[in-house]
Every structure is written in C-alpha cells, then in structure tokens.
Amino acid sequence: MNLDTDFLWSVFLKALAKLPVNFEIAIVALVVAIPLGLLAAIVCNNKVPVASQALKVFVSFIRSTPPILLILIIYYVKKSLDMQGVIKIDPIWYAIFIFSLIEIALLTEVFRSALLSIPATQLEAAESIGMTKLQGYRRIVIPQVLGVALPVLCSSITDLVKMTSLAFALTVVDIMAIAKIEGGFSLSFMEAYLAVSLIYLIVVFVLERIFKIFERFTKSYADK
C-alpha cells in the first residue's frame, strides 16, 4: 500500500492556511462564552426565579443534543434566511453563533461547580467591609472561580477547537472543508484526511502543553 506523500504534504499546507478560520471561530466563541457562562452560572446558583429555570433547560438541551444536529438546524435557518434575502452574511458568523451557544452551556456547568467550591463566607466578608455585591463578585469571587475552573476550562477549550471541525457542515471553508475539496478533486480521501488529522494532532497537542504550563503558574492561586 502506498501513501501519496506529496499530495498529503500539499493538502497539509493548504489546510494549514485555513487554520486561522478555525481559530477565529473558537476564539470569538470563547470571548462571548466565558463572560456569559459566568453570568449564567451566577444566575443559576443564586436561584433567580424564571431565569435560572430557563437557563437550566437551555443547558440541559444543549448538553444532550449532538453538536452536529444543532449545526444542521442552524444551517437550515441560515439557508431560509438567505433565500428570503433577509440577511446575507458570511457563514462563519453562524458558526460563531452556534459554537458560542454550545460553549455557553458547557461553561455554565463548569463555572457553576467552581462557584460552589468558593465558600459563601467570601462574599459575606467582602460585603462586611463595605463592598457592594457587584464589587464582591468582581474582586473576590470571580478571580477565585477562574482559578478553580482553569483546568476544566482549558480542557473545554481544546474540546472547542476539536469541535470546530464540524463547521464544514455550515459551508465554512475551514481545515475539514479543504480536506473534503482536495480529496474530492483527486479521489485520494485518505491522504487528505490524514493531513487534517496531523494538523489537529499538532494543534491540540501544543495547546494542551501550553495549558499545562499555564496551569502550573496559576496553581498556587487555585489552592488558596
């Protein structure tokens, strides 16, 4: 069995050029999801009526449906919007939208358990020295929550990067789409997907290493 290494290398380079697309989706989704997830977690844990129940249903729904299904639903919404000519925007925005939703749901759970690990006395102490509740959260509770949640947060970021491989279903031209296109032209799908798996392997591995180092630096903070 022979492997067409020249072709593999050419797909590797072409797909690598599309890596920023995947990163863009992941980073924007994270920037949206981290504050909103934190807010949702605080709302849930404080048992704000109506909002916390609604959030629980939302989180449970997103967490138990396959991401590809949510993406397909959004894809058909996009298609009908395009056909009616309501809005025509780059499909990447739809990808960002749906990955943000998924990530908000996942991070809400992460932050919720992190919030529970911070004793309530911390907030009470902050209020006793004259801080408002908002200040208490911002200066005392949230920094600790981020410290506690960091390991899980990091692994959920790598999961998100892996999940962006599904963006091709939204007609976003990312790494996977390149493999599909190139594989389709030359009918050597195996090499095309091997090239993509190599990229993911390197990217996710490097990300994990970076997070490990990062965690070592911030570990003392989480212990306190």
Does residue 102 belong to the site contacting another protein (CB under 8 A)?
no
Which residue is associated with the tokens 């997907």? 193
Q: In angstroms, rounded to a whole number, what is the distance separating the alpha carbons of residues 149 and 154? A: 9
Applying CB under 8 A, the span of 36-44, 93-101, 118-126, 157-165 interacting with another protein comes to 157-165
Please answer whether residues 19 and 203 qualify as being in contact, where contact means their C-beta atoms are separated by less than 8 angstroms. yes
Footprint of another protein on residues 165-184 (CB under 8 A)? Answer: 165-166, 176, 179
Footprint of another protein on residues 22-61 (CB under 8 A)? Answer: 60-61
Instruction: Tell which one of 35, 82, 125, 205 touches another protein (CB under 8 A).
Output: 205
Polymer length in residues for the chain: 224
Minimal distance, residue 186 CB to another protein, in Å: 12
Does residue 19 belong to the site contacting another protein (CB under 8 A)?
no
Residue from 134, 93, 102, 116 nearest 33 by CA: 102
Please answer whether residues 62 and 102 qualify as being in contact, where contact means their C-beta atoms are separated by less than 8 angstroms. yes
Q: Collapsing DSSP states into helix, strand and coil, what is residue 65? A: coil
Does residue 107 belong to the site contacting another protein (CB under 8 A)?
no
Query: What does the radius of gyration of the chain's CA atoms come to, in whole angstroms?
Result: 21
Q: In angstroms, rounded to a whole number, what is the distance separating the alpha carbons of residues 41 and 108? A: 5
Does residue 1 belong to the site contacting another protein (CB under 8 A)?
yes
* Both tokens assigned to 94: 């739809």
CA-to-CA separations, 30 to 34, 84, 106, 187, in angstroms, rounded: 6, 31, 11, 36
Applying CB under 8 A, the span of 88-96, 103-111, 127-135, 161-169 interacting with another protein comes to 161-169
Does residue 194 belong to the site contacting another protein (CB under 8 A)?
yes
Does residue 117 belong to the site contacting another protein (CB under 8 A)?
no
Does residue 162 belong to the site contacting another protein (CB under 8 A)?
yes
Minimal distance, residue 208 CB to another protein, in Å: 7
The residues that touch another protein, with contacts defined as CB under 8 A, are 1, 60-61, 63-70, 72-73, 76-77, 79, 162-163, 165-166, 176, 179, 189-190, 193-194, 196-197, 200-201, 203-205, 208
